[in-house]
Amino acid sequence: MSGHSKWSTIKRQKGAADVKRGLAFTKLSNAITVAVKQGGGVGDPNSNFRLRLVIDAARAANMPKDNIERAIQRAAGKANADMEEIVYEGFGPGGFSIIVEAITDNKQRTTPIVKSAFEKNGGSIGTPGSVSYQFQQAGQILLGKNGKSFDDIFNLAVENGAEDVEDGGEVVLVYTKPEELAAVRDSMLRTGVDIQKAELVRKPIHHLQIEDREVAKRALAFMEKIEDLEDIQQVYANFDIPEELVA
């Protein structure tokens, strides 16, 4: 809907994803650990695409090279054997659906913290499967326009295997099938476009329109509180909010 913003766009505009540098590096280090673990212990980003995506994100966050290398080496250690990814589902203020991805070495510690954050900020935790059907797994590539028109980038993305393309103002969001993200990303890199980020995401299938200013305010405050929890990696919501309310 024209004039409406999704959470991924709002994060970029408000800087809601920018946490303290130390906490950001901790989250990235944990993501590297799980990427190596889920990649069968492979610490080579050329052979482990998920690890390559996390390393790209770490570099974009100015995480020092030594920190990245230590995180990869640490991933093979016994101390990280209990690190796991947990997915929480629930509802935010106004009834929108939300999926939260966490990485933790202690589920018994993380789950009560996440549940408390939901309840204290006007949301509620759901059961597994309660909202996941409203999202689909997808690859997402964030492109800078750099003087190109949306139509130019749209045509280029489709020619290189994109499934969907959205205009995000100063950027363009290119969506792929999860298993085709690496191929589409590499193909588009060869065209010289400005790829700012590539990642696997949960894309909402349908959106809940929030038109009330107070509900929008509570929704954004809720999302920022959840994002800032130490063990949280990604948060996805299915709301759209008019741009004038975001401003």
Domains and CATH numbers, the chain: 21-80 (1.10.10.200), 86-133+206-246 (3.30.70.980), 135-204 (3.30.70.980)
Amino acid 8 reads: S
Q: Which residue has the tokens 């935790």?
A: 125
Question: What's the pLDDT at 130?
Answer: 96
pLDDT per residue as tens digits for the range 175-228:
999 999 999 999 999 998 989 889 999 999 999 999 999 999 999 999 999 998
Amino acid 156 reads: L
Is it the case that residue 19 has pLDDT exceeding 80?
A: no
Question: What's the pLDDT at 159?
Answer: 94
User: Model-level pTM?
Assistant: 0.84
Is it the case that residue 71 has pLDDT exceeding 60?
A: yes
- Three-state SS at 166: strand
- What is the DSSP secondary structure assignment for residue 179, as one 8-state letter? G
Q: Which long-range contacts (CB under 8 A, 24 or more apart) does 31-35 make?
A: 31/57, 31/103, 31/233, 32/58, 32/68, 32/71, 32/72, 32/75, 33/71, 33/74, 33/75, 33/80, 33/83, 33/103, 34/83, 34/84, 34/85, 34/103, 35/75
Residues 32-42 have a mean pLDDT of: 86
